[in-house]
Amino acid sequence: MAQEACEHLLAITDIKEPRRRVCEECIKTRDRWVHLRTCQQCGTTLCCDSSPNRHASKHAQASQHPVIASAESGERWLYCYPHEQTAEY
State the Cα–Cα distance between residues 67 and 65, nearest whole angstrom: 6
Write the pLDDT tens digit of every residue in 43-69: 999 999 999 999 999 999 999 999 999
Of the pLDDT bands very low, low, confident and very high (cuts 50, 70, 90), residue 40 is very high
Q: Where are the domains of the chain?
A: 7-88
- Mean pLDDT over the full length of the chain: 96
Contacts of 76 (CB under 8 A, 6+ apart): 70, 88, 89
Write the pLDDT tens digit of every residue in 71-81: 999 999 999 99
Class of domain 7-88 as given by CATH: alpha beta
Select the more confidently predicted residue: 2 or 80: 80
Q: Which residues pair with 38 in a beta bridge?
A: 45, 69
Evaluate whether 36 touches 72 at the Cβ level (below 8 Å).
yes
Angle subtended at Cα 55 by Cα 16 and Cα 75, rounded to the nearest 5 degrees: 45
Give yes or no for residue 20 having a pLDDT over 60: yes
Query: The pTM is what?
Result: 0.94
Give the residue-averaged pLDDT of 24-30. Answer: 96
* Strand boundaries in 1-89, DSSP class E: 36-39, 45-47, 67-70, 77-80, 85-88
